[in-house]
Amino acid sequence: MQAEAAIDRFLTIVSTFSRELNTAKKALDVYHAIVKVLRRFFDIHSFCVLEQKGPSDWISIWSDPTFPFGFDELTPYVQLAQERRSFSIYPLDEGHLLILPSLKSGRVVSVLMGYLQDDPEESLRENESVVGFIMFFSGLVLENLRLYREVLDSAAVQEGLKKYYQTMLDSMDEAISVWDENRSLVFTNQSYIRADPSESILEIIKDLVTQSYSNRNHNTLEKEIAGHFYSFGTVLLGNPDQVLVSMEDISNTKELERIKKLDQIRTEFVSNISHEFRTPLAAIKAYAETIRDSFGSLDEETGQQFMMTILEQSEHLEGLLNRLLDFSRLENQAMRPEIEDFDLIEQVRDVEQRVQKMLQTYAVSFSIETKLPEAVVRGDPKQINQVVFNLVANAIKYRDTKKLERWAKVIVEESEEEGKVTLTVEDNGIGIPEESADKVFEKFYRVDTSLTYSVEGTGLGLAVVKEILDMHRAVITVKSQIGIGSSFSFSLPKAG
């Protein structure tokens, strides 16, 4: 029940907040969305937002008419926000003041202040983890919105955020559906579509929707249907009133443990992908500001170097978005392989050229080993190229920094199975724990060791590899030892 409650809370935040952010065009829109979500937990009477325009120059960009403080009275609370640089609630003679600073490069650049008439201590204690998530996620959204505003068109930002949330919701194994008060279906994720609920399950879902509208509360149910145990949960969404229903097959007790782990993985995924986006955006913004501020004094060579850096980081950002979208299309079976004859060795050589910069960055050597003059196989050359690239990129990124010689290699050889060619990617990197070997192909999964914390990634690379090879009816195997290295192998049929 605790796991279900945590999932319900998470889904409520994502669904409500993402819908609000779809129309956000400036930071103030985000603050309105934050207040709307926070009002689920606190009785916020009114609020205002202050923004810094200079080292000691602050202006009010929004203030409710009923907000009880004038601009001059807020100076000490701004100073308090600058000192604490974190979410806090300050007691007043009458009521409390909620203070939410927004940081940029460790510096407070704006502050949201909300006036609370009631004592928020009990609500804060009950929802501390949820509020903490809202604060963390809000900080990321505000920072990313500022960076995007400098570099990208606002319409493209909204579309990117929409696809991002859609991808995240579609990645969930839970079947998610949203219903209106007429018990009409208004939204489903891909898991719901794949589940294709029977008439008996639909009746249960609709009864829960009716119950949620009636008692204005969350509802849960576990029920056996046709030999399977299902867990249902509802979350009441607001304005307009809608009910979100989650459905999960919990026949296997291990599935309950997996739900808890999946909740943690999703939280880590939000953190990882936000970091992945923030790094190139920060570089683009920094170089763009330098060009703007020094436009007249920059020599042509330096300007060209700055523009190349902006271009490279833009391509990196585009690559991240493409990987998310490609994975979504793969899961939706929208990227079917275009089968043809091609030389597997040529694709490996192409990958070798693509990873040259990574090899230099991570100080890893690379080699291709084969006794075959050519290896013409049947498959989709672009998709197999992506498989080889993902495997080689992982071999490079997860190198063992303690070793003087770090290498990765690709071996192409005749398969033990007649009529096939086998490709193997080997490395002498950090290795994979035995208990994680079967999990590395799960979406968003990352091996949780101290050696992997510094490696950037979305947790989708090997999941994409598995999806593509499944469509090629090819099986990928992994062998690995901690401190020794890893080996990934798959086979494709020969042409003809």
Say if residues 142 and 51 touch (Cβ distance below 8 Å): no
Mark whether 247 and 359 lie in a shared domain: no
In a domain, 280, yes or no: no
Structure confidence at residue 453 (pLDDT): 42
Cα–Cα distance measured from residue 99 to residue 34, given in angstroms and rounded to the nearest whole number: 12
Cα–Cα distance measured from residue 274 to residue 269, given in angstroms and rounded to the nearest whole number: 8
Cα–Cα distance measured from residue 168 to residue 274, given in angstroms and rounded to the nearest whole number: 13
Mark whether 22 and 101 lie in a shared domain: yes
Domain boundary among the residues 219, 251, 283 is at 251
Domain boundary among the residues 203, 220, 251 is at 251
Range of the domain at 216: 175-251
DSSP state, residue 415: -
In a domain, 90, yes or no: yes
C-alpha neighbours within 13 Å on the C-beta side of residue 82:
14
C-alpha 187: how far from chain center: 21
Cα–Cα distance measured from residue 139 to residue 102, given in angstroms and rounded to the nearest whole number: 6
With cut-offs at 50, 70 and 90, classify the pLDDT of residue 380: very high
Structure confidence at residue 425 (pLDDT): 97
Reported as a single tens digit per residue, the pLDDT across 240-254 is 678 889 998 877 654
Say if residues 355 and 395 touch (Cβ distance below 8 Å): no
Say if residues 191 and 170 touch (Cβ distance below 8 Å): yes
DSSP state, residue 495: P
> In a 3-state reduction of DSSP, which class is residue 256?
helix
With cut-offs at 50, 70 and 90, classify the pLDDT of residue 378: very high
C-alpha 407: how far from chain center: 30
With cut-offs at 50, 70 and 90, classify the pLDDT of residue 328: low
Q: Tell me which residue of 141, 136, 149, 144 sits closest to 268, measured CA to CA.
A: 136
Structure confidence at residue 452 (pLDDT): 44
Backbone phi, then psi, for 61, in 5-degree steps?
-100, -10
Reported as a single tens digit per residue, the pLDDT across 196-227 is 888 889 999 999 999 888 888 888 888 878 77
Going by their DSSP bridges, the two strands 420-427 and 242-249 should be labelled as: unpaired
With cut-offs at 50, 70 and 90, classify the pLDDT of residue 353: very high
Mark whether 110 and 183 lie in a shared domain: no
C-beta contacts of 409-412 below 8 A and 24+ residues apart: 409/366, 409/367, 409/368, 409/369, 410/348, 410/351, 410/367, 410/368, 410/369, 411/369, 411/370, 412/344, 412/345, 412/348, 412/368, 412/369, 412/370, 412/372, 412/375
With cut-offs at 50, 70 and 90, classify the pLDDT of residue 427: very high
Mark whether 149 and 179 lie in a shared domain: no
Q: Tell me which residue of 38, 227, 23 sits closest to 116, measured CA to CA.
A: 38
Dmax over CA atoms of the chain, in Å, equals 85
- Report the predicted TM-score, pTM, of the whole model to 2 decimal places: 0.42
Mark whether 184 and 140 lie in a shared domain: no
> In a 3-state reduction of DSSP, which class is residue 120?
coil
Mark whether 489 and 350 lie in a shared domain: yes
Cα separation values, 370 from 367, 383, 405, 493, Å: 10, 21, 22, 17
Reported as a single tens digit per residue, the pLDDT across 49-89 is 888 887 778 999 889 999 999 988 998 998 888 888 887 88
- State the total domains in the chain: 3
C-alpha neighbours within 13 Å on the C-beta side of residue 160:
20
Place of tokens 């808890």: 260
